[in-house]
A and B are shown apart, each in its own frame.
Chain A
Amino acid sequence: MAYFRSHVLVSVDPVCVEKGAYELIETLQDELVKQGLVEEVQVLETSRIGDPETEGLDLMVYPEAVHYTKLTLDDVPFLVEEQFLKGRIAEQYIRETKRVVDEELSAPKTKEVRIVLKNIGEIDPLNIEDYIARDGYMALGKVLTEMTPEETIQEVLDSGLRGRGGAGFPTGLKWRFISNAEGEQKYMICNADEGDPGAFANRRVLEGDPHSVIEGMIIGAYAAGASQGYIYCRAEYPIAVRTMKTAIEQARNFGLLGDDILGSGFSFDLEVRMGAGAFVCGEETALMASIEGQRGEPRPRPPFPAQKGLWQQPSNINNVETYSNIPQIILKGAEWFASLGYKKSTGTKTFSMAGDVKNTGLIEVPFGITLREIIYDVGGGIKEDKKFKAVQTGGPMGGCLPESHLDLHMDYEALAEAGSILGSGGLVVMDEDTCMVDIARFFMDFTQDESCGKCTPCRIGTRRILEILTRICEGKGKPDDIDTLRYLCEQINENSLCGLGKGAPNPVKSTLEHFLDEYEAHIYEKRCPAKVCKSLIRFEIIDGLCTGCTLCARNCPVDAISGERRQTHVIDPDICIKCGICEQLCPYDAIEIK
């Protein structure tokens, strides 16, 4: 059977025939013969493709799914040459493109650049040969045979790579610190304790491309002079733990971990350590305490881990995504990496998109892309075409940014200036139905719960904030609450020991700044503008719309709804627990939230 690499579809809809569809097919055939492509490109007749009322002829090319419109027969030779002989899209003839699939199912991702995610979905993560076939461990080979540790550090430094865990500290500099530190045993540690709610990029890399992390760590260990490494992974990620363990075992069997790697005399081995469900262990000093078998509590720095880290020995901690960038930097060069990105933030960043955005999931884009591009172009906009309200960047210690910040170019500095953080790249998109006071309360509930309790500002301060926010959401807010919140935010931020406490007030601070009107409505008018806070809303059945179908009454968990069949029902506000089930179920939209 002949195998065609491309197919041209020409509509033979009556209107198109009228316009000369068969002449177009003939001209195409002739031209394909002339350019020697007749065995590679097949012309097919099809039913209508685009809008037949468009003037001129049109055709569609697969597999690219390019729709050329408003063509004349004279355009055909050039088009055939560009599209099929040279294999590039003849842009000048594209007046509109039609997607192969319906709009909702297609995920535009044109703005993506994949470095960290390049192998994911392409390789079998449990097969080391798949990774090697895609140039895996070649960077390690290059480093061990051609580069000194110092040259390796310089290359990473020149690339401008900064810590992807959120702090944004230059990775090369970190490596230089540990390389210069004195100590009999040095450790290379990978922080895979991805605890930020809404961030899942690391999980995807650990599960989908484990060897890129291992390779990055071996290269780092060579640069730092470390002979032992640990990957500290959350216990909430059992598949990631299993995948990493298998990958390490394979690398060891291949001789890529262990003694005398690639005959270079350099030795390094690696182990996976599991967390046990403590958010604070993502903080580097707490993480090391946990590896040592202690409570995962942070300690003040200095001394920094590069001097006194794990078991008091010089240690280097980088994030999963940071390590998995390393092999590409070594192979393609610092200059290439530095050419991507924006200002002081080079390369790409993965973002985990969640919340009220159409395309949830993981993306990788160069730094400098705007929030608007991420949410609307890559993310496809807001679900159900509702109005955008806010986006929270960087996990529970990030700020909530409003519409006016959508054109912000994403990098470490710009986000910090806007009162948020890049963090680990979580993006939670919120639509108009979100109550920002409730969201602030929600995040504070999280940090308050996860506070390890070691330092007072964080332990007690977050609790006080949570109490005040809960009070406001319950309609019991006091006029001076806003000032008290501001004061607490400042105190906690300035006086806490670690990043958790320092960042904890961000959601409150940013919502106070951008959504003060919502706080005021709750406090002064006892009203929740988004109709979320239970104590401030009530459910009512609208007279003319209720048909008395009894669906709500039968499903009310507390029997708060009464009424005769075919008569308007009534909700007893004293019994109603405002669970919202009736509103969801009502087929006639007869239930209103007031």
Chain B
Amino acid sequence: MATEVKEGQDIRNMVRTLVQNHGDEKAELIPILHEINRELGYISDEAIKELSKRMNLPSSHIYSVATFYRMLSTEPRGRHVIQFCESAPCHVAGGRLVWQKLQRELGLAKGETSQDDKWTLLTTSCLGLCGVGPVMVIDNDIYGNVTPEQVPGILKNYE
């Protein structure tokens, strides 16, 4: 998911290219933030500063938008991001036990990133896959009908 850490100049270049491609209208802010989040794994202060300059928007506005939306992060995340669906249908379908197993297996609580930067454990709102709940997403892979017993095996697939 997150690629290698980019340094100042790289980040500034990336932001500049993004603004060139999308245009500097305010309506493009969220699409651009999405791309930065995807590239860096999170939206860094450096990126916000550069974006503020390129889009003529106050940093405070960009920061307020970036922190409003759950899928954008202003904190660094692990190499692999696990999103566990915390919605009622998954809960009813046995999600609670899977969630407990995940937390135990990783030694992480909701929102935490492991010390080796490998994992970030998050919950997500409904993914609309309720028919095959419990559901979780690791990076871009979706897993349905997950049982607690499957958790270690699934995690093993990730380096």
Contacts and interface: CB of A to CB of B under 8 A. Distances in A.
A and B from one complex? yes
Nearest to A197: B87
Contacts of B124: 236, 277
Interface residues of A, number: 52
A276 B71 contact: yes
A361 interface: yes
Contacts of B89: 197-198, 354-355, 428
Nearest to A431: B92
B34 to A, nearest CB: 6
Nearest to B68: A295
A196 B88 CA distance: 10
B125 A279 contact: yes
A293 B28 contact: yes
Interface of A: 194-200, 202-203, 235-238, 273-279, 290-297, 352-356, 360-362, 392, 396, 428, 430, 434, 439, 442-443, 446, 450, 452, 557, 579-581, 584
Contact of B92 (A279, A355, A362, A396): A355
Contacts of B28: 293
Interface stretch (B11-19, B113-121, B126-134): B126-134
A200 B129 contact: yes
Contact of A278 (B69, B88, B128): B69
Interface of B: 25-31, 33-34, 64-65, 68-72, 86-89, 91-93, 97, 100, 104, 124-133, 140, 148
A392 to B, nearest CB: 7
A294 B65 contact: yes
Contact of B69 (A195, A275, A428): A275
A584 B97 contact: yes
B39 to A, nearest CB: 15
B128 A194 contact: yes
A584 B70 CA distance: 34
B70 A291 contact: no
Nearest to B64: A295
Given A236-B125, A273-B30, A360-B131, 11 more contacts: A198-B130, A199-B126, A200-B130, A237-B128, A238-B140, A273-B31, A277-B124, A279-B125, A293-B65, A355-B130, A446-B125
Contacts of B68: 278, 295-297, 452
Contacts of A198: 87-89, 126, 130
B64 A290 contact: no
B69 A197 contact: no
A277 B130 contact: no
A197 B88 contact: yes
B92 A276 contact: no
A236 B88 contact: no
B18 to A, nearest CB: 14
A450 B148 CA distance: 27
Given A275-B69, A278-B69, A197 B126 contact: yes
B69 A354 contact: no
A276 B100 contact: no
User: Which 4 residue pairs across A and B have the least CB separation, nearest first?
Assistant: A197-B87, A276-B69, A277-B70, A200-B128
Contact of B93 (A274, A279, A293, A354): A354
A438 to B, nearest CB: 9
A297 B88 CA distance: 24
A354 B65 contact: no
B93 A355 contact: yes
27 contacts: A195-B126, A197-B88, A197-B130, A198-B87, A198-B130, A202-B128, A236-B125, A236-B126, A273-B31, A274-B31, A276-B70, A277-B70, A278-B68, A290-B30, A294-B26, A296-B68, A352-B130, A354-B89, A360-B132, A428-B89, A428-B92, A434-B92, A446-B86, A446-B87, A446-B125, A579-B97, A584-B97
Contacts of B65: 293-295
Most chain A beta carbons < 10 A, residue from B69, B92, B132: B92
Given A276-B34, A584-B97, A203 B27 contact: no
Given A352-B130, A354-B89, A360-B131, A293 B71 contact: no
A425 to B, nearest CB: 12
Contacts of A196: 126
Contacts of A354: 89, 92-93, 130-131, 133
